[in-house]
Amino acid sequence: MSCGKIVCIGQNYRAHAREMELEAPAEPVIFLKPSTALIADGDVIEAPAGLGRVDHEVELALIIGKKARKVAESEALSYVSEVAVFNDVTARDVQSAARTAGLPWALSKGLDTFAPMSRPVPVSEAGDLRSLRLELRVNGEVRQSGSTSNMIFGPERLIAYISKYMTLEPGDIIATGTPEGVGPLNDGDVVEAGIEGVGKVSNRVRRI
Ligand code: MG
């Protein structure tokens, strides 16, 4: 699989911000993952054991279909061609240490294999993007269960906000944030992220 840039949104669900002991943000929190992190359904998540805790985060991914620059909210959804299920895999200990030190936490999000994504489906087939059920299971056990209705900033607002500062191009991905229930992944775990009407992405974890 290949893609353009991956723009991720942090703390976009109140209950997740709370579990991270963070305030709900006044404006979208943006960070990037490299395209080299992308993997497909069935690929292996390789998590270096030396980096400590590695977490799952189920998210709705928006895939950009045409160049978007300074787009109005009212037009924003016309720039999305497809949607997919995304797992924003995170080296949590690395992220926490960087946050505490006031340093960038790009490494914690950017490792190879840390962006599993399902096969994209046309946005027209996905239904209302603000009422999709998200679920994540580890070894068959439900760990995250939420709804995109609980996003603080919805897809239109995110596209308008991002495109005000960064041009979005066809093939770029926006990962829209995770609901509560994030937790660790261990060697041999099978993590399956799913969104009703969109699909699922299932990956085995190897601590290497
Ligand atoms: Mg995330």
Q: Where are the alpha helices (DSSP H) in 46-187?
A: 92-101, 106-110, 155-165
**Could you tell me if residue 196 is left (phi over 0), alpha (psi between -120 and 50 degrees) or otherwise beta?**
beta
Q: For residue 174, report the distance from its CA to the centre of ligand 1, in Å.
A: 11
CA 125, CA 14: separation in Å to the nearest integer?
A: 28
The correct answer on CATH 3.90.850.10 for the domain covering 6-207 is yes
Half-sphere exposure of 4 (CA within 13 A, CB side): 18
Q: For residue 182, report the distance from its CA to the centre of ligand 1, in Å.
A: 9
Q: Is the pLDDT of residue 1 over 90?
A: no
Strand order in the sheet with 199-207: 44-47, 199-207, 190-195, 133-138, 141-147
Q: Is the pLDDT of residue 85 over 90?
A: yes
Q: For residue 68, report the distance from its CA to the centre of ligand 1, in Å.
A: 22
Q: For residue 54, report the distance from its CA to the centre of ligand 1, in Å.
A: 12
DSSP annotation string for 27-58: S-EEEEE-GGGEE-TTPEEEE-GGG--EEE-E
* Domain boundaries defined on the chain: 6-207
Percent of the chain topping pLDDT 70: 100
Q: What is the pLDDT of residues 106-148, one digit of tens each?
A: 999 999 999 999 999 999 999 999 999 999 999 999 999 999 9
